[in-house]
Every structure is written in structure tokens, then in C-alpha cells.
Chains A and B, each alone.
Chain A
Amino acid sequence: MAEITGTTWTVYDANTMTQAEVYGRVLCELGEKDPRIIGLTADLAKSTKIGLFQERFPERFVNVGIAEQNLFGIAAGLAKSGMLPFVATMAVFASMRALEQVRTDICYQNLDVKIIATHGGVSFGQAGTTHHCTEDLAIMRSLANMTVIVPADGHEAANVVRAVVDWPGPVFIRMGRGFEPLHYQDENYGFRIGKAVQIADGTDITIICCGVTVFHAAEAARELKANDGLSVRVLNVHTIKPIDVDAITKAVTETRRILVVEEHNVLGGLGSAVADVIAASGKGCAFTKVGLPDCYSEVGYPEDLYAYYKLDTNGIIEKVRELLGREFEADENWEDEV
């Protein structure tokens, strides 16, 4: 166990990362079969876990130094040359520092570049707001051609990495710092890009979530059933774009109350994507987005920040109870029909 010394605690403990470590291992496995796969990073091979690929395939690995704009420019060139670049860096650098290169060099040309964006949300809590990334989903989903995926845990990260090899065009895979608890037992639960996974069925309310909030939403559903007798549906909408319109519309129709929980600014992320679907469906429902309330994040340990922003199990339970009490229909005639 590494000594806890500020930000280095997270960097050293990256050796035991679940999500990132799994993707690193799977990427090596895929690299054995597919010679087109090439790894790139900007001096973050260790903490983003693409270093595993570097060790196995040093001739197919490029560390550009601390130069993220170059990182994505080079990746675009490699993709044009027939390679399949997997680019790993922190979400905040991928989505903002190198945004122009991601947009113009990669997305505009619809190139096969797979971006592994680690330390998303507030998962790098103690590193501070500059290293948090609570805007990336909003930014990335607005780029044409880009696919945006937020895996729930290590097993889902493995599924995503396997799936994107054959998925055309650029993909933004948003991960946490790597300490996220495992929700799935293994990789065999039917993952498909663009198809939400129903974790629990229910009729009182639907919790729509992605990333680390999936674990907490599933826990909250269990608690709410046991303590409140509530029937809670949980949808893991891991693919923010293209979003699973059918699953969301079905949830609106069948439960009429939707709570979206995401480790992101409430503007522009999963909640906004879900709201777009609901608005287009023409169906009314009670709706709440839980995330960072359009602010810059506080600094602290991730678990404390999840609790502070109501993204943990207790916070989700509180929000579900709140939403269930809200009136939303004009149809308030309680006279029995004859």
C-alpha cells in the first residue's frame, strides 16, 4: 500500500486500479490479435494504465511528453495511415486542452481514434478542481461523429474496449481514477454499445445513471425496496451518444418518474441527453438531474465529494424520496370512473 501523500497517493495506487487496470489488460490482449492497435499517451502511461500496453508492445507505443495537442494530432495521422490508435490521458486534458485537435483532426475526418479519458468527474478529488473533469460529456457529445461511453466498472470497461475495436469512428471512453467499486460480477451481461442495461426492474421510478453512479444507484434501489417498499428501475445508460432512445422512452412510459444521476455538471451531460429524449417523446414525467449544480467542484476525497453532491447511495435515496413526492400531472381528478 502506497503512502498517502497528497496527489501521489492516487498515482501510486494506480497499480491496483480496477477500471483502468482492466482496460489496460484487455488492450494488451487485443493488441496480440490486432497489429493495427497502437497506444499513445502524454506522459501519463502509468496512471492511465496504458503503460501495460507499452511494456508488452514497446514498438507500438508513443509517449509524446506533456503535449496533449500533439498527442491527438499524431493519433489522427496514425489513424489516417491505417493504424487503430488508443489514446490515454486524463479526461480534463482530452476534452479541453486538446479539444481543437479532437474536433478538427479526429472528429471532422471521422477517424478511428479511441480516446481513453481517465480521472473523469471528481474522481481525482484531492488533485483539485483543475484536474477534475465535469464538463467532458457535454463537450464530447456535441462533436459530430463522436461516440461517448462511460463504463460503470472494470468489467464494463473491458467490454467497451473490446467493442470499440470494431465500432467505426472516434470514441470517447470516460473512466474514473480506477478505484470505482465493481458492480458487475463479470463481463457476461450482454453489453452492446448504444444499448442501456437494465440492472433492476421497477414501476415507481427509474434511476438513469452511468459510470460510478451505477453502483450507487443499484445499492439505492435495494435499500429503497427493503426500507420503503419502492419498486425502482435502474438503467445503466453507459452510452451517452448514441443514446438508447427506446429504453428511456419505455422508462418514461412505464414509471413516469425519472431521476438521472451523473458525475458531471447537470448541464449538457447524461441528464441533458435524457431530457432531450423525453422532450422529443412528447410524454410528461417528473424529472430531476443530480450532478454538480453548474459549479466548479470542491476539493476533497472522491467519496466525500460523491456524498456532498448526492451521487452516493444515500444521496440517491434522498433524491428518489424527494422526486416521488413531487406533483407532475394536471390529471388530478380522483373521481372514480363510471
Chain B
Amino acid sequence: MPANARELLTARIFTHAAFPVMKVVIEDVPAMKRRFQDVKAKVQFMARNDGDTVGAFLVFDEAGFRVEQGVCGDPDITFSFPSVAKMNAMLAGKLVLPSIKGWTKPGLLIKVFQLLLSLKLMMPNARPKDPERKKLKVKMIFYMITTALSQYNKGGDPDMTKWTAKQPERIYQMSVEPEGIAAYLRVRGGLTKAGRGYYTRRRPFVHMRFHGVDGALPVLLKDVEFVESVGKGYVTVEGSPEYAAAMNDFMQRIQALVT
């Protein structure tokens, strides 16, 4: 049975928005950085879909880490799923066992598992105490959210495409200050692009300024509602409240897809 549009959109968000966040872990966590320092490998994730294949692969080489979409010819490890829905479930942290090719490279397999497990830091039930882990969690979520929003549009969600289509060039910026963790979504006439850091070429149309990592976490963990968090001073929203609310609505829809 072929995957429906919602399942394909979910898979797109995992492979385009969640997988790339592994780069943050590799770059920011010293132990993980050491672990992948000399790794040169390709790791494939793929799901069967009505005679076709949906997937992406991780590339570790001299240039560092990157994610490429589709199927590569010579993977070192392959995670195969019987359906897109099963792949989505596993990536959402549910207990699904894929078929794994690559047992002959146990060292690499263990490293990849560790990397995959590191993504669980983005889950709502992950509540780190260590300040560095807290910062990492916020950064990973920011990067994931902005890219997921962009992919939600590129994937053709009707409401999101309608919302972006009528907008002139606008920047939706998120930041945590004073730590300086920042990511943005650029929108123009139906196009979207997720970016890292601060967009400096124009002032944001909406800027969500979280006040410190400890202010950002209760909001991102849904310990407090967004409106309440503004009242409590965890976050300041500069710019259009209507558009900020609309973006928040899309973020919640995406969260419902991936959890």
C-alpha cells in the first residue's frame, strides 16, 4: 500500500530537517566529534513504497558530514523499512526494527546508533541538567524547527503554501540571548529557506527572542503555553503577532507529525 501524502511529508521532514541536525551533534559534542573524526562511510535509510523507494543517506567523508536525499549505490550500512510509515515510526522514537545490512562493520554501526540516539535529545521528555546539553538541545530544536517549516512548505502542505505564497520577502527569526543561538526562516512569494544564525540583510518581520536557554526550554518543552511564556518573560515577540501565531500553529502541526 503506497504511503499517503501525510506519511511522505513526515518522511520528508525527518530526512530533510531532523537528519541534518546530526551535524550539530558531531560538531558541538567533543566525544562525538572524536568518534567520527576519521570515519568515511555512507549510511542509507530507505523505505519501500509501492515498488519505489523513499530515503536518504548520511555521508561521512573528508568534507565532514552531510545528508543526501535518495538512494546511494554503495552504502556501508543500510537501514531498510517495509513502509514509509514504519520508517517514520522508528525515527519518531517508537520501537520498530528495521532490516539492517552492514553487520560486518560493527564499529561503524555502533557509532551510527549513538548518533541516531543523540537526536532523542530533541524529544520533549529529554530534560538535560548540564548547561552545555541544554544549549545543545535548544540549538538542535531551533535548527530542526526552521528547516522543518521550510520543508513543510516545500513538501506542499496546502495551508503552509497558501500562507507563504502571499508574503513578500520576510524573515522569521528565532534567537536565544545572550547565548546567541539563532536560526531563521526566510519566506518570499511561496519560497522558503531555513538558515542558521542571524539574518543580517534585513530586519526580521517576526523575531522571537528567548531570554536565555533556561527561558527557552520551558517553551520548547511545552511546560508553559506560548502566550503564558510571553507573560512570564521567557520570550519576547517583536513584529506581527498574527503572523507569529500562524507560524506557531504550523510548528505545532509539524510536531504532531513527527511525534
Residues of A that sit less than 8 Å from B by CB: 203-205, 229-231, 253-257, 324-325, 331, 333-338
Contact = CB atoms under 8 A, between A and B. Distances in A.
9 contacts: A253-B201, A256-B202, A334-B193, A335-B193, A336-B20, A336-B146, A336-B147, A337-B194, A337-B196
B16 A255 contact: no
B168 A204 contact: yes
Contact of B169 (A229, A253, A256, A336): A256
Contacts of A325: 189
Q: Which 9 A-B pairs have the closest CB atoms?
A: A254-B203, A336-B194, A338-B20, A256-B202, A324-B168, A334-B193, A203-B205, A334-B191, A336-B147
B203 A337 contact: no
B202 A254 contact: yes
A333 B194 CA distance: 11
B166 interface: yes
Given A256-B202, A336-B151, A229 B166 contact: yes
Contacts of A255: 202-203
B220 to A, nearest CB: 20
A171 B194 CA distance: 50
B202 A253 contact: yes
Contacts of B204: 203
Given A336-B150, A336-B193, 10 more contacts: A205-B168, A229-B166, A229-B242, A253-B201, A254-B203, A256-B169, A256-B201, A257-B169, A336-B151, A337-B195
Given A204-B168, A230-B168, A254-B202, A338 B191 contact: no
A338 B66 contact: yes
Contacts of B23: 338
A204 B170 CA distance: 7
Contacts of A230: 168
A231 B205 contact: yes
Given A254-B202, A256-B201, A203 B20 contact: no
A231 B240 contact: yes
A331 B193 CA distance: 11
A335 to B, nearest CB: 7
B109 to A, nearest CB: 24
Contacts of A253: 201-203
Interface in B59-75: 66-67
Contacts of A257: 168-169
Contacts, number: 57
Output the residue of A333, A334, A336 with the most chain B CB within 10 A.
A336
A84 to B, nearest CB: 43
Interface in B187-223: 189, 191-196, 201-205
A230 B205 CA distance: 10
Contacts of B203: 203, 253-255
A205 B169 CA distance: 9
Contacts of A231: 205, 239-240
Contacts of A337: 147, 193-196
A324 B202 CA distance: 14
A133 B118 CA distance: 71
A55 B118 CA distance: 86
Contacts of B16: 336
Contacts of A204: 168-170, 205
Contacts of B171: 203
B56 to A, nearest CB: 12
A204 B67 CA distance: 34
A229 B85 CA distance: 39
Output the residue of B16, B168, B192, B193 with the most chain A CB within 10 A.
B168
A258 to B, nearest CB: 12
B157 to A, nearest CB: 15
A179 B204 CA distance: 39
Nearest to B240: A231
B257 to A, nearest CB: 17
B239 A338 contact: no
A231 B168 CA distance: 10
Contacts of A334: 191-193
Nearest to B184: A337
A338 B202 contact: no
A333 B186 CA distance: 11
Contacts of A205: 168
A200 B240 CA distance: 14
A313 B122 CA distance: 50
Contacts of B202: 203, 253-256
A338 B203 CA distance: 22
Nearest to A229: B166
A255 B202 CA distance: 5
A18 B203 CA distance: 37
A336 B151 CA distance: 8
A140 to B, nearest CB: 33
Interface string B16-39: 110010010000000000000000
Nearest to A250: B203
Contacts of B195: 336-337
A329 to B, nearest CB: 8
Contacts of A254: 202-203
Contacts of B189: 325
B174 to A, nearest CB: 14
Nearest to A251: B203
